[in-house]
């Protein structure tokens, strides 16, 4: 027995739980495990250096699961041009049923996705951007509260307000993202008007996650205060784990006259992926983490995590909340 929502009906997924695309984390073993647990996971397209390698990663995932999964395509300004059209073509040609778009406006890619029968979830951090995505014809919106890891935007609206504000205005399914790591978050999000939840940091701390065990253990040890919001000065706010590198970035960016060039060597994504996520140097670089670190106390398998959230969620609804009714 599970929760039935517009999300589970529209996307044909057993549980209203999503593992959104995460650079260097959204790889075949984790995403297949998410799918096998009855949730929806997204490979990270740009984790793969080329569209051809993305096609191979899709095939590897299919060798590990016969259940549906998707691919995340994040479109952001980059120093070196990214062949987004070729990645989109690879997604369609592979017959992937779902794509999660993020960053820039997905409109140029929607005709190809529609023609290929691909359902589109667009990530947004404001209601106005979510409404714009809906007007373009996406199938669902994933909306990120300020608590989230990654880029929360510049308006600092937490999920407790953002989710119902979106639900009041949107007609398509809503996936609540940011600040969710357990059954309490799932039930709360559904009560606020969401149709599913997206978890990132929580899925990083699972046995199938491809990051180093030191990072997983650090997430467990960290509290809700163990994040920094970097790049705010440059209007590209990003929530990352609090460590020596992100502390130094905050110190430098707070200095008068500082520029992004002053922190570029510290903010390097390659440095974070190689030294921190791959090699386990907790202070080796910048790595994404949300405030949900304060809610994470173990490193379970993905199947155990999803099963626990659904089971405890049912208990919250049927026992605790029902018992409060007079």
pLDDT at 76: 81
**Long-range contacts for 283-287 (Cβ within 8 Å, ≥24 apart)?**
283/243, 283/244, 283/245, 284/245, 285/245, 286/230, 286/240, 286/241, 286/243, 286/245, 286/246, 286/249, 287/215, 287/240, 287/241, 287/243
Q: What is the DSSP letter of 229?
A: E
E-state strands within the chain: 17-19, 40-44, 70-75, 98-103, 119-124, 140-144, 174-177, 196-198, 227-230, 238-241
pLDDT at 324: 81
pLDDT at 322: 77
Strand partners, 288: 240
pTM as predicted: 0.96
Question: pLDDT for 269-295, tens place per residue?
Answer: 889 999 999 999 999 999 999 999 999
Q: How many C-beta atoms lie closer than 10 Å to residue 146's C-beta?
A: 22
Q: How far apart are CA 238 and CA 296, in angstroms?
A: 21
Question: pLDDT for 38-74, tens place per residue?
Answer: 999 999 999 999 999 999 999 999 999 999 999 999 9
Report residues of the chain scoring pLDDT below 70.
Answer: 1, 77, 79
Q: Domain ranges for the chain, please list them.
A: 6-210+301-324, 227-288
pLDDT at 79: 66
Strand partners, 229: 239
CA-closest candidate to residue 63, choices 35, 87, 40, 37: 35
Do 144 and 129 form a contact (C-beta atoms < 8 A)?
A: no
Q: What's the mean pLDDT when you consider all of the chain? A: 95
pLDDT at 171: 98
- CATH topology for 6-210+301-324 is TIM Barrel (3.20.20)
């Amino acid at each position: 027995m599970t929760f039935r929502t517009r999300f589970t009906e529209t996307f044909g997924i057993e549980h209203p739980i999503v593992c959104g695309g995460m650079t260097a984390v959204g790889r075949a073993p984790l995403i297949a495990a998410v799918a096998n647990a009855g949730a929806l996971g997204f490979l990270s397209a740009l984790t793969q250096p080329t569209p051809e390698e993305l096609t191979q990663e899709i095939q590897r995932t299919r060798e590990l699961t016969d259940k549906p999964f998707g691919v995340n395509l994040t479109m952001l300004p980059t120093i070196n041009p990214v062949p987004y059209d070729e990645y989109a073509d690879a997604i369609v040609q592979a017959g992937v049923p779902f794509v999660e778009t993020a960053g820039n406006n997905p409109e140029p890619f929607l005709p190809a996705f529609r023609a290929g029968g691909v359902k589109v979830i667009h990530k947004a951090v404001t209601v106005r951007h979510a409404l714009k995505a809906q007007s373009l014809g996406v199938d669902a919106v994933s909306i990120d509260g300020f608590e989230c890891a990654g880029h929360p935007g510049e308006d600092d609206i937490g999920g407790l307000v953002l989710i119902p504000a979106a639900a009041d205005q949107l007609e398509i399914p809503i996936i609540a993202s940011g600040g969710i790591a357990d059954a309490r978050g799932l039930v709360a999000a559904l009560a606020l008007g969401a149709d599913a939840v997206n978890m990132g940091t929580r899925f990083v701390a699972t046995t199938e996650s491809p990051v180093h065990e030191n990072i997983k253990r650090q997430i467990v040890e960290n509290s809700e205060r163990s994040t920094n919001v970097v790049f705010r000065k440059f209007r590209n706010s990003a929530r990352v784990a609090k460590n020596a590198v992100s502390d130094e970035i905050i110190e430098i960016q707070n200095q008068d006259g500082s520029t992004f060039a002053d922190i570029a060597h510290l903010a390097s994504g390659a440095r974070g992926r190689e030294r921190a996520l791959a090699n386990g140097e907790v202070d080796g670089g910048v790595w994404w983490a949300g405030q949900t670190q304060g809610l994470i106390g173990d490193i379970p398998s993905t199947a155990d995590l999803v099963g626990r959230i659904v089971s405890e969620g049912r208990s919250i609804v049927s026992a605790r909340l029902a018992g409060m009714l007079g």
